[in-house]
Amino acid sequence: MLQVQFIRDHKQTVLDGLAKRNFADAEKIIDQVLSTDDARRKAQVSLDNVLAESNKLSKEIGMLFKSGEVQKANLVKEKTTQLKEQREVLAQQKSAAEEELKELLYQIPNVPHPSVPVGNTDEDNEEIYREGDVPVLHENALPHWELAKKYDIIDFELGTKITGAGFPVYKGKGARLQRALINYFLDKNTAAGYNEIQVPHLVNEDSGRGTGQLPDKEGQMYHVGNENLYLIPTAEVPVTNIYRDVLLKETDFPIQKTGYTPCFRREAGSYGAHVRGLNRLHQFDKVEIVRIEHPENSYKALDNMVEHIQGILKELKLPYRILRLCSGDLGFTSALTFDFEVFSTAQDRWLEVSSVSNFETFQANRLKLRFKNKEGKSQLAHTLNGSALALPRILAGILENYQTEEGIQVPEALIPYTGFDMID
């Protein structure tokens, strides 16, 4: 969430950024934030004054008793009782103002980076790079859901029987290719300096709030009611929350983590080819990269993450493009996001396979993730994350773009991981 002091010092910048996002009633909620913070500050000042007066009187009472002025000491004690009542009232007012302030700040998205283009939908995203040749397929080429059935490697109907739509069953060479991709992505990430970590697949409410999934995306998360836990929508949530309530040293930077997890999302269902097969799932596998950075280095780190993912897609020889997300398509917590899309030749459309984002201090403020700077002062760190990579649409792209009349070729980079070079 945004820092109140930042809002105070840069009110117009914040309003301009929220207007860029088409955030309704921006001025109204910002004024509410500032007035609520004024009330919090006023209660704090009054509380400090009452505490100071109480401490002063306590010393005075001790001196009066010591000098034998018992009656006068008892009169002063009555006054301290009144101050105690005032203290309790002021503490309640301060606490109420803090809670109201927090709830207001939870409603405000991050301020977009100046480079974010203005726009309303994904059609306004800016393509900044494209690479790779789109293969020419044979005339009987099929979309991946038909290939999955033809070669018996993914069973969507069986997944529906066991659980429901959006929970496929991977079989035989399909399962082995899936596992190969996970291992390949993890190996690429660790070779690039990311430390591998295994994390829980359920998180508590504090973790969901820490990275911004709650309360913004509560309806998209699977909730385990009895324990009040949430199935993770991405490894970003548990990995980043490792550093909740942590005070780092400058020498700790950069922190680079990678991890594989299944991911769970209750996205609203719709129909058509754009959501068929692997295009949109409720459970899917993903390898994530997360970075905790010094604010001065976070955008250099973002560029490094983009280059890293480019290198993986080049090695897989998949045609891809990079989009800079517009203000209307930007995630709630992000200051700047680049999306990677792979071209699916059989579907004749682009498939999103990764999002790489810099959240600046937005998550760190929620997480209370700070570091001691050179002056010895506490300062918020910057957090970043990216998919490296999300498997379903990468797998769809491989199946469709690598299909031949004899079968589906395996990308050369994956053969050491699969142990086979053809699905037939």
Spell out the residues 6+ positions from residue 408 whose beta carbon is closer than 8 angstroms to its own: 147, 151, 398, 399, 402, 422, 423, 424
Same domain? 265 vs 160: yes
| pLDDT at residue number 373 | 93
Same domain? 169 vs 256: yes
pLDDT band of 217, cuts 50, 70, 90: confident
Question: Which letter, b or e, does each residue of 370-391 get, where b requires 16 or more Cβ atoms within 10 Å of its Cβ?
Answer: bbeeeeeeebbbbbbbbbbbbb
pTM of structure = 0.92
pLDDT band of 326, cuts 50, 70, 90: very high
Same domain? 148 vs 86: no
| Domain limit, last residue, from 56, 77, 106 | 106
Spell out the residues 6+ positions from residue 136 whose beta carbon is closer than 8 angstroms to its own: none
pLDDT band of 63, cuts 50, 70, 90: confident
| CATH code of the domain containing 83 | 1.10.287.40
pLDDT band of 419, cuts 50, 70, 90: very high
Same domain? 356 vs 383: yes
Cα angle, residue 174 at apex, residues 172 and 179 outer, rounded to 5°: 100
Number of structural domains, the chain?
2
Distance of alpha carbon 182 from alpha carbon 160, whole angstroms: 24
Share of residues in the chain with pLDDT > 90 (%): 86
Same domain? 248 vs 221: yes
Q: Residue 279 has which token pair?
A: 């295009």
Mean residue pLDDT of the chain comes to: 94
Higher pLDDT among residues 284 and 215, named by residue: 284
- Residue 379 is assigned to a structural domain of this protein: yes
For residue 82, the enclosing domain spans: 4-106
Q: What is the pLDDT of residues 99-136, one digit of tens each?
A: 999 999 999 999 999 999 999 999 999 999 999 999 99
- Residue 79 is assigned to a structural domain of this protein: yes
Ranking 68-72, 298-302, 345-349 by mean pLDDT, the lowest is 68-72
Say yes or no to pLDDT of 340 above 80.
yes
Beta bridge partners of 289: 258, 386
Same domain? 161 vs 216: yes
| pLDDT at residue number 402 | 97
Residue range 127-150: average pLDDT? 95
Same domain? 137 vs 77: no
Strand, coil or helix: 60:
helix
Q: What is the pLDDT of residues 243-297, one digit of tens each?
A: 999 999 999 999 999 999 999 999 754 445 567 899 999 999 999 999 999 999 9
| Domain limit, last residue, from 82, 106, 130 | 106
β 154-155/320-324 pair status: unpaired
| Domain limit, last residue, from 106, 130, 148 | 106
- Residue 116 is assigned to a structural domain of this protein: no
Share of residues in the chain with pLDDT > 70 (%): 97
